[in-house]
Amino acid sequence: MKVTDAQMLISAVSDAQYPKAGLPEIVLSGRSNVGKSSLINRLLSRKSLARTSSSPGKTQTLNFYQVNQILNLVDVPGYGYAKVSKTQREKFGQIIEHYLESRKELKGAVILVDARHEPTEDDKAMYHYVDYFDIPILVVSTKIDKISNNQRAGSLKRIRQSLEMPSEEPLQSFSAINGEGSSEIWSWIEHRMKD
Ligand code: GDP
């Protein structure tokens, strides 16, 4: 998608604040520091619309970005960050759970994992959590520029296995540095928007 207009609509703490225009929504999740803000900025061709994490996990809100007035990208705060208290995590768990199970506009989830590492227990939990709600998933392996070409196949295989992904489910490599994978991610999102 050629992005001509991208704006932060709202950081919502409750569903009363969710946008009401009925635009299709794609949610993006991943643990803190996985490269989610960088991916959002790259997809939107903006330098710093999504804040890259100097203080990861600090804002426990759903951030809605409206794109070309036809789509919302919904940024879920990074999980797995120790400084967020257990109470905060539980509270946020309820917000995201409510969003995932009740949001009619939700068309798909992009779940980010780091190409260099085995998915964490939090990654696996998030994947299965989203899957439980029958939301179509695109797994994205981030920071792919940081691994060598001959490490790629092994990394992708490890991600598939540890998330127990069905073989037909897409797994896309991505680099915010050189843009690899952007057009494939957009294709997937555009396809989901039509559903
Ligand atoms: P977030 O916490 O998931 O939003 O992660 P950020 O987007 O803030 O990225 C965390 C760190 O990883 C930052 O230092 C980024 O510059 C770096 N980073 C993010 N994406 C990439 C990538 O594709 N390649 C490389 N080499 N570094 C990246």
How far does residue 137's CA lie from ligand 1's centre (Å)? 21
> Over 90: is that where the pLDDT of 19 sits?
yes
Amino acid letter, 63: N
H helices within the chain, ranges in order? 36-43, 86-102, 121-132, 149-163, 182-193
pLDDT digit string, tens, across residues 51-99: 755 445 455 689 999 999 999 999 988 776 556 677 777 777 788 888 9
Ligand 1 atom having least distance to the Cα of 31: 3
Q: Which ligand 1 atom lies nearest to the CA of residue 174?
A: 23
DSSP class of 148? -
Domains observed in the chain: 6-193 (3.40.50.300)
With b for 16 or more beta-carbon neighbours within 10 A and e for fewer, the 52-62 pattern comes to: ebeebbbebbb
Decide: 61 and 12 in contact? Cβ < 8 Å.
Answer: yes
Residue 51: the pLDDT is 73
- For 145, phi then psi, to 5°, come to -65, -15
Whole-number Å distance, alpha carbon 16 to ligand 1 midpoint, is 31
Residue 168 φ/ψ, nearest 5 degrees: -85, -5
Joined together, the tokens standing for residue 102 give: 């009740």
Token digits for 158?
A: 């490890």
Query: Which atom of ligand 1 has the smallest separation from the CA of 112?
Result: 3
- Read off the pLDDT band of 47 (50, 70, 90): confident
pTM to 2 decimal places: 0.93
The 10s digit of each residue's pLDDT in 115-173 is 999 999 989 989 998 999 999 999 999 999 999 999 999 999 999 999 999 999 999 99
- Lining ligand 1 with CB less than 6 A are 30, 32-38, 52-53, 56, 78, 142-143, 145-146, 175-177
195 C-alpha to ligand 1 centroid (Å)? 31
Name the residue with tokens 């709202």: 10
Structure tokens at 143: 């920071």
**Residue 47 · residue 93 · CB < 8 Å:** no
CB 121 within 8 A of CB 171: no
Distance 31 CA to ligand 1 centre (A): 11
